[in-house]
Each structure stands twice: as structure tokens, then as C-alpha cells.
Structure 1
Amino acid sequence: MALPLLNYALETQNSRVQDHGGADDDKARIFTTQQVLSNADTDALIEAAYRQIFFHAFKCNRDAFLESQLRSNQITVRDFIRGLLLSDTFKSSFYRFNSNYQVVTQMVQRVLGRNVHGQAETIAWSIVIASKGLVGFVDALLDSQEYIDNFGYDTVPYQRRRMLPGRELGETPFNIKSPRYESYWRGILGFPRAVFVGTTTKKLPSRARVSRGGNPNDYRDWVGDVGATRCVAGGSTNTSFDYMSKVRYRKV
């Protein structure tokens, strides 16, 4: 028997404040099939869906079958979003590299377009993942009244209330403040990595090639010339060798 979604208190009511501002960079652009007038508009809507779910989609990550169904009006935008969330690309590049808490945080951001209301909501949705799995969790988000009221069946989810009254700056976009991989996997994969732009690589300055001593590479040739010795267990040792005469000491 699946457990019902636990009740949690809202941390803020800013998401219900009426917007009095005009169009600006902090206001999200809305993509919906109700405003599609050409194939170019459909392409823009599909790209917006990929950005919202994958943050960025390469050609190999695109789902041609889902795109074809959306273009021919066989499925709605909501069904297209569901297909992306349950795709192998999303599972292999995001779901398998994060804990349930991290999955809840980013899924609420991507699907509902807002931050989670504290740890209480995170725990509530993580119980849904544990009891119903990823498919049940995705369906619960898409079937929620919050999703239907804000996005319906024809609108791509977007970050809501990025610009709030009383704030000098809006909220940071989700794809910037929420990395795809958790800290554990970022350490294994070697993130963050330095990205070199351009065809020419930056060369080390001449002062970096000067040997200052203490570098193990300076002794690589000397160690290679030393013959390997073999210690046989139970073998005899040379006790006549005067080790103390070879030790340097200060004369008083």
C-alpha cells in the first residue's frame, strides 16, 4: 500500500504575490502550443522543454519519436515532459547519480518551477519515490493540482517568480545553482574541470621549467640506475659492516 503525500507547511507566500512588473530578463519566457504558429515556434518549444529538463541536450540525447508525436499533435506538452523525465538519458545522467533528496529538490525545480518548501516537502516527496518509484513520483508531480493550475497540458514548465517584489535581484536560475551530480559523484568524476577555449593551448612559462629541488621527478633517472635488490627471508646478514662509521655526526 502506497503512503499518501505528507502535509508540509509553505516557507513563503511570495509565489502567490501578484506580478506588477513589466517584461525583463528576470521574467521567464513562456512556451505553449497555444502560441505556435509555425514550425519554428514548435522547434523553440521543444528546445525549451529540453533546457528545462536536461538543462542542455546534445543531438544523441534527443528523442525523435517523442518529438514526432508532439509535432503531429498525438501527445500534449505534458506527455512530452513525462517522456523526457522517464527517458534513459535522464535516468543515466541524473537519476542514478543522486540521492532521493537531491532528486526531489531538482525534480520540483524542473517540473513545478519553484524551490522546495524546506526539508518537510523534501521528505514527503522522497517517501513517494521510495514507495512508488520514479514513475510514480513523476506521475504524482504531473498530476498535482499545482502543475495543472500553472502549466496545464500545453505549457512547458518554467521557473516561476524569478523576479520578486522588494528584491533588488531575482532568483538564480535552477540550472546554475543546482548541479546535475551530487558532491560524491562530482568528486569521482573529477568536477569541476578546467575548460580550455580555443585551438591553442596555454604553455607553461619558462620559470616553471626551472628545477628548484625537492621535485620527485628530478630523481627519477638516479633511482632507475639503482639495481633492484631482493631480500630473502631467513637469509644471512653482514654483521661485520660498520654502519656507525657511515653516520655523520657533529664533533663537540
Structure 2
Amino acid sequence: MAIPLLAYSPSCPNQRVDALGARDDEAIIYSTDDQFSATDMGNLINAAYRQIFFHAFKWDREIVLESQLRNRQITVRDFIRGLLLSNTFIDSFYDKNSNYRFVEHCVQKVLGRRVYSNAEKIAWSAVVMTKGVKGFVDELLNSDEYIENFGENTVPYHRRRLLPSRVTGETPFNITSPRYDAYYRNQLGFPQTIWQEVVRNFRSYDKQPKAGDASLFLNMARSISPKSGRPNPVSPYNIDIEKTVPYRRR
């Protein structure tokens, strides 16, 4: 028997802070209400992938869902539901995390905010336990909070907030919240230190050598190893006079 969502108080450090105003780091809102061209729809679909997957490779893309959304056979909310129930999302976020961590990921990606407290994680984890992943996703997408903020046609986005004495908003979830839990990150060897043996120096375009510059031929000049033609020293006692000195034959 499925239990109802447990009660929790909506309390977090930024719950009463006003949303960001017209700033450069304000989230871009994508909605099918004002996306009509093929390019606009492509940008909307890519924004949905960034929000749910952070990055979608070619084999991660849901071609059927994309086609249905382009043809307006499904809504953006249906498209988000399909991404959340896809094999890529289940394998990357559900299978490799605890229920608490999975709930935290989904709340961030679907509702666009951090979880209020451990009480909220416990409440949603109980839904995952009793109704499964599909029931949990439906509960999130059917919640009043999702409908009021994103509705049927808007891609969820990070609803950043300004905190006192801070100029910019919060760091995006995909940077502060790793995909895998600590156990799986340790199994996969993350974080990995990447070191390049060759250190590259940046040179501005105006300082780069132009055609005909002698520095462009420096490597070629270094590759040449000329050898001087020194004669082999021969002792005069070893010279065959008859064979060496030319003479006229009659």
C-alpha cells in the first residue's frame, strides 16, 4: 500500500529571498509557447537535455520523444518525464546512488531548487520505496510546485536565488552536485588528476608570427646538421707517387 507524501516544513537558507532580477547570470527560460522554428525547438530540446542529463551524447538522445515534441504530439512535461524514465537517467542517477541521493538529484533537476531539508528527502524517498521510480517521477511532475512554476510547456531551470551580501546567484547544480555518489566515484577512480606533459603557452593573434617570419623556419634550421668537408690527414710516407702524381702518357 502506497503511503502519502510525508509532511515537511519548506525551510532552507534561501526560501524567502527574491529571485534574481534582470542579470547576466539569470536562467534562460525555454517554452514551446514562443518557440516556433526548427532552430528554436532544437535549442529547447538541448536545454532539456542539459537540465536533466547535464550533457547528452548521441547515443543518449531520445529520438522518438524529440520527434513527438517537434510535432507537438507531446508537451514539454511529457518530454521531461520521458528523459527521467530513460535508460540513461536510470543507469546514471538511480542505479548508482542511494534513494536519498536520487531524490536530491530529481528535486534539483525537476523542481529547480535544492531540497529543503533531510525531512523532505526522507518524504520523497518513501515515495520511491512504495511507488517506484515511475510513481515518484509522476508525483514530482504532477506536484503543485512544478505546475505553478513550469506548467506544461516550460523546460525546468535552476531557480537561482540571491543571498545577502552576495552579488551573484548560486552555483548551478550540475557543478555542485556530482552525478555519482561517493561510493561509485571511488570505484570509478574519481576525481582523476589530468596532467598534460606538454605545457602550452597562449599567444594572442597579433603576436603570432606571420607568413615569411624567420621564426617559422627555426625548427627546420635546427633539424639540419651540416658536416664540413675536412680532408683525411695522410702521411707523406704513405703517398704512392706513381699513382698519385698525374703524368702525360705518350
Deviations 1:65-97 (A, max 9, x none): 000000000000000000000001111122100
Counterparts of 1:151 and 1:21 in 2: how far apart (Å)?
A: 18
Change (3 A) 1:168 1:97: same
Which amino acid letter does the alignment assign opposite residue 153 of structure 2?
A: D
1:11 aligned residue: 11
Q: CA deviation at 1:139?
A: 0.2
Contact 2:8 2:120 in 1 (8 A): yes
SS in 1 for 2:146: helix
Look up the match of 2:168: 169
Q: Does 1:202 align with 2:197?
A: yes
SS of the counterpart of 2:33?
helix
Return the index of the structure with the highest Cα Rg.
2
Amino acid at match of 1:49: A
Moved more, 173-182 or 30-39: 30-39
Instruction: Report how far residue 164 of structure 1 moved.
Output: 4.4
Alignment match, 2:158 = 159
Deviation at 1:192, TM superposition (A): 1.1
Instruction: Work out the CA distance in 1 between the residues paired with 2:128 and 2:81.
Output: 16
After superposition, what is the alpha-carbon deviation per residue over 1:181-211, rounded to whole angstroms, capped at 9, x for unaligned? 0000001111112346xxxx517xxxxxxxx
Contact between 2:19 and 2:159, CA under 8 Å: does it hold in 1? no
Q: 1:155 to 1:165 in 2, by over 3 A?
A: farther
Q: Contact (CA 8 Å) 1:186, 1:192: kept in 2 or not?
A: yes
Aligned length: 199
Matched with 2:55 is 56
Q: Do 1:66 and 1:83's aligned partners in 2 also have CA atoms closer than 8 Å?
A: yes
Aligned ranges for residues 98-247 of structure 1 at < 5 Å? Answer: 98-164=97-163, 166-195=165-194, 202=197
Q: Which residue of 2 aligns with 1:216?
A: none
Q: Which residue of 1 aligns with 2:2?
A: 2
Gaps of at least 5 residues in structure 2 are 199-250
Q: Alpha carbons of 1:85 and 1:37: their partners in 2 closer, same or farther (altered >3 Å)?
A: same
**Percent of residue pairs identical:** 60
- Mapped partners of 2:20, 2:76: distance in 1: 28
| Shift, 1:161, TM fit | 2.7
What secondary structure, in the 3-state scheme, does the structure 2 residue paired with 1:154 have? coil
Task: Give the counterpart letter for 1:5 in structure 2.
Answer: L
Q: Counterpart amino acid of 2:197?
A: K
* Residue in structure 2 matched with residue 244 of structure 1 by the alignment: none
Normalised to the residue count of structure 1, the TM-score between the two structures is: 0.74
Partners in 2 of 1:51 and 1:3 — Cα distance? 33
Q: TM-score, normalising length from structure 2?
A: 0.75
CA, structure 1 residues 28+164, in 2 after alignment: closer, same or farther (shift >3 Å)? Answer: farther
CA distance in 2, matches of 1:52, 1:112: 11
What is the alpha-carbon distance in structure 1 between the residues aligned to residue 5 and residue 114 of structure 2?
18
Which shows bigger deviation, 156-165 or 41-50? 156-165
Q: CA shift at 1:20, angstroms? A: 6.8
- Equivalent residue number for residue 229 of structure 1: none
Dislocated runs of 4+, deviation >2 Å: 12-21, 161-169
